[in-house]
């Protein structure tokens, strides 16, 4: 597997080794020792999630205010543009964002450490998105950075995404750090 650093502290792109032939393919999506050694992920994954969304749906930018979740994400059907925003005030990359294309074809994974906001927009007709989490989901601790915060300046590949009511009420980074 190949590990690619990003401009965000601790955020990594993972290109797994894929073995394929005319019959199909095989890849390892997680192996604890290897991910600990190569990515320095010394956290236990406690929850796996799977979501399906249609074209134009933007989910995010979510995080938990306490008990933050690290997320190891991938797409098993379709294509999404996946984004992480560093909202850790003490981080050297605070307020910065990074995006990566995840698809069933490229089989790329994205490691988003605890303490970052995370979201994605669906580019294909439908997308199945799977992710492992390092902490349990706690709805009472969930918060949302607004997807189009002008101070963060995420360059989404879509202008008018479909948003949940919760995501429409997201806060700007300035509002979140008060």
The pLDDT tens digits of the residues spanning 109-159 come to 999 999 999 999 999 999 999 999 999 999 999 999 999 999 999 999 999
Domain boundaries, the chain: 2-176
Reading the block at residue 178, the tokens are 């008060």
pTM score, two decimals? 0.93
DSSP annotation of 162 reads B
CA 106 to chain CA mean position, Å: 16
For this structure, is 131 an active site residue? Answer: yes
For the segment(s) 2-176, the CATH number from 3.40.50.300, 2.60.120.10, 2.60.40.1890, 3.40.630.10 is 2.60.120.10
The one catalytic residue among 35, 81, 98, 131: 131
How many CB atoms within 10 Å of residue 176?
Answer: 18
Mean pLDDT across the stretch 51-61? 97
The one catalytic residue among 35, 50, 62, 118: 62
Owner of token pair 């543009």: 81
> What's the confidence (pLDDT) of residue 139?
94
Per-residue pLDDT tens digits for 75-97: 999 999 999 999 999 999 999 99
For this structure, is 35 an active site residue? Answer: no
């Amino acid at each position: 597997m190949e590990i690619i650093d990003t401009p965000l502290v601790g955020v990594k792109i993972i290109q797994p080794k894929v073995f394929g032939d005319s019959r199909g393919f095989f890849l390892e999506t997680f192996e604890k020792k290897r991910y600990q050694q190569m990515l320095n992920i010394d956290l236990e994954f406690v929850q796996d999630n799977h979501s399906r969304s249609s074209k134009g749906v933007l989910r995010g930018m979510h995080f938990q205010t306490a008990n933050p979740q690290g997320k190891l994400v991938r797409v098993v059907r379709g294509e999404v543009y996946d984004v992480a925003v560093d909202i850790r005030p003490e981080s050297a990359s605070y307020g910065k964002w990074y995006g990566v294309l995840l698809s069933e074809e490229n089989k790329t994974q994205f490691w988003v450490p605890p303490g970052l906001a995370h979201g994605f927009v669906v580019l294909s007709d439908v997308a199945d998105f799977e992710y492992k989490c390092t902490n349990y989901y706690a709805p009472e601790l969930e918060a949302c950075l607004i997807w189009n915060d002008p101070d963060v300046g995420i360059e989404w590949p879509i202008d008018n995404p479909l948003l949940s009511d919760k995501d429409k009420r997201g806060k700007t980074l300035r509002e979140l750090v008060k």
